[in-house]
Amino acid sequence: MVNGLGRKASELKHQGDRLGAKALHHPWMVPLARLGYLAKGVVYAVIGVLALQVAFGSGGKTTDTKGALATLAQGSWSKALLAVVAVGLVGYVLWRVVQAWMDPDGKGTGAKGLLLRGFYLVSAAIHTFLALAAFRLVLGAGGAGTSGDQSAQSWTARLMSQPFGQALVAVVGLVIAGLGVWQAYKAWKEKFRKKLRLDTLRPQQAEWAVRISKLGILARGLVFVMIGGFLVQAALTANPRRARGLDGALETLAAQPHGTVLLAVAAAGLVAYAVYMAVEARYRRFLGA
């Protein structure tokens, strides 16, 4: 019976690989996925640059992904860029769904593989709302909505009002923090390299691409750890106002001793993450592409 289950799992995996290859052979799939990575990079570049401006006292603001979209919406040419970003975010959503459903990366049906594929679906849902916000801004219908802090505090309060709400908030916080730790570990061990075709670059160029990508993934991971920690604090104190979004995490860094330096480092890391997204857009390996 065990052998039969093993064969069944193997058959399902091969079937998923075939479906994934079929999806990726669609003429629009890979270009949309690449545009999606690039669009995500643009969003993080805006967040990082605005935070750098705050750190160096030249204006700017700490903001989150929706705030970055609102910044892009300012000006007629900016709206044209925002429209491209919105389409790119749709491409990113589609790619995440393909990753989760068809498993083109071969994550498998084991516990770890299913967990990663589940994360892809969560990522698809998050970026769906972000894409909708972008399209609303392009059409002049608003869409930036509340700040990251306000949004985090709002859904934290709603979740706390449910049975075992504090425990649920704590679990969400631990999951987000755990995801941040995993990203930091992935960056430290350079596990992202196997997804990239860097052999077309000169060795020195490839090494710099890896270094910047490593810094970017590490910075984003540490920000996730902070956001998760704030949620755990909110759960332990039964105070939703302790919850923070990306903008709040950056503001907290700025408020610390030597906060200007901490904010500048974090902001530079987010810009580096944007560069990593651009590298992934150009050099990512796709099954059958």
Nearest to 138, CA basis, from 78, 220, 88, 204? 78
Residue 174 has what pLDDT?
A: 95
Average of per-residue pLDDT across 187-204:
90
| Every domain of the chain and the residues it spans | 12-283
**Alpha helices of the chain — where are they, by DSSP H?**
2-24, 29-55, 65-72, 76-102, 111-138, 148-160, 165-188, 203-237, 246-254, 259-283
- Decide if pLDDT at 2 tops 50: no
- Decide if pLDDT at 7 tops 80: no
Residue 233 has what pLDDT?
A: 94
DSSP 245: -
Dihedral (CA of 152, 145, 65, 248) sign: negative
Per the model's pLDDT, the better-predicted residue between 76 and 101 turns out to be: 101
Q: What's the length of the chain? A: 289
Nearest to 236, CA basis, from 176, 154, 170? 170
Question: Mean pLDDT in the chain?
Answer: 86
Nearest to 51, CA basis, from 223, 209, 214, 217? 223
- Decide if pLDDT at 270 tops 90: yes
Q: Is the Cβ–Cβ distance between 47 and 266 less than 8 Å?
A: no
Residue 237 has what pLDDT?
A: 92
Tokens encoding 54: 């705050």
Residue 149 has what pLDDT?
A: 75
| Percent of the chain predicted with pLDDT > 70 | 87
pLDDT-based confidence at 101, cuts 50/70/90? confident
Residues 6+ apart with CB under 8 A from 60: 49, 50, 51, 52, 53, 54
pLDDT tens-digit series, residues 276-287: 999 999 999 886
- For 174, counting Cβ atoms within 10 Å of its Cβ (0-12 exposed, 13-18 middle, 19+ buried), the class is middle
pLDDT-based confidence at 224, cuts 50/70/90? very high
pLDDT tens-digit series, residues 12-33: 555 555 555 555 566 778 899 9
pLDDT-based confidence at 155, cuts 50/70/90? confident
CA 231 vs. chain centroid, Å, equals 18
pLDDT-based confidence at 76, cuts 50/70/90? low
- Region of 85 on the Ramachandran plot (φ > 0 left; ψ -120 to 50 alpha; else beta): alpha
Residue 88 has what pLDDT?
A: 96
Q: Is the Cβ–Cβ distance between 60 and 53 less than 8 Å?
A: yes
Per the model's pLDDT, the better-predicted residue between 177 and 151 turns out to be: 177
